Amino acid sequence: MAVTGAVMLAYLVAHMLGNLKIFFGPEEFNGYAHWLRTIGAPVLHHGWFLWLLRAGLLTAVVLHGVAAYQLTRRARAARPVRYAHRRARTDYATRTMRWGGVILALFVVWHLLDLTTGTVNPHGRPGQSYQNVVATFGTWYGNAVYGVAMLALGLHVRHGLLAAARSLGLAGARAERALRATGTGLALALTAGFLVVPVAVMTKVVS
């Protein structure tokens, strides 16, 4: 859980920062999208870097999901009889890890069909990433799906970072507070950094 989560978190930070290039206009953003396909050239063929990255991310997603499934199965087996007196345990971010993760997995499928393959995108032309993004966030459902997913992401990261650090034995008594602050800070930065794009499209800052 911890290692695969860290891999995906590192990718998300790069992804979020890359998205912000949309504020420099269509040429710059589409040029950036094109550059991503040329990373590693001439050693790597066109687009190979992206495919290697996708393979790595897919492995991380699958292993993360399998580990989560196993943990959930173990938890169910460890408490066959539930308490009659129910009460909300732990904080919201912790309680929503499992369903939040499912929401994020479903979002990733939609997100790939929308902005990678263009299948469900209203514009959907390869090489025109900027126009595709504007088209998605021109629809109410595009904004709704994206907004919910990014809030789920923030909650997931808020609990996930600290939990991962504890699993890897990094969160000592002294490091605990710093890691908690890092988790919350990173969750806020990622959610805000990702959400600023649809907000910009909605307010016509990006069009």
Chain residues in the site for other proteins (CB under 8 A): 70-71, 74-75, 77-87, 89-90, 94, 97, 159, 162-163, 165-173, 176
Minimum distance between the CB of residue 9 and other proteins, rounded to whole angstroms?
Answer: 15
Of 48 and 176, nearer to other proteins (C-beta) is: 176
Minimum distance between the CB of residue 150 and other proteins, rounded to whole angstroms?
Answer: 23
Minimum distance between the CB of residue 84 and other proteins, rounded to whole angstroms?
Answer: 6
Minimum distance between the CB of residue 163 and other proteins, rounded to whole angstroms?
Answer: 4
Helix axes 2-19, 140-167, angle to 10 degrees: 140
Of 59 and 70, nearer to other proteins (C-beta) is: 70
Of 84 and 109, nearer to other proteins (C-beta) is: 84
Nearest to 9 by CA among 146, 167, 182, 197: 182
Minimum distance between the CB of residue 70 and other proteins, rounded to whole angstroms?
Answer: 8
Of 2 and 149, nearer to other proteins (C-beta) is: 2
Of 83 and 140, nearer to other proteins (C-beta) is: 83
Minimum distance between the CB of residue 58 and other proteins, rounded to whole angstroms?
Answer: 24
DSSP code string of the chain? -HHHHHHHHHHHHHHHHHHGGGGG-HHHHHHHHHHHHHTTTTTSPTTHHHHHHHHHHHHHHHHHHHHHHHHHHHHHHH-SS--SS----S-HHHHTHHHHHHHHHHHHHHHIIIIIS-TT-SS--TT-HHHHHHHHTTSHHHHHHHHHHHHHHHHHHHHHHHHHHHHTT---TTHHHHHHHHHHHHHHHHHHHHHHHHHHHHTTS--
Angle at 68 between CA 94 and CA 191, to 5 degrees: 50
Of 172 and 185, nearer to other proteins (C-beta) is: 172
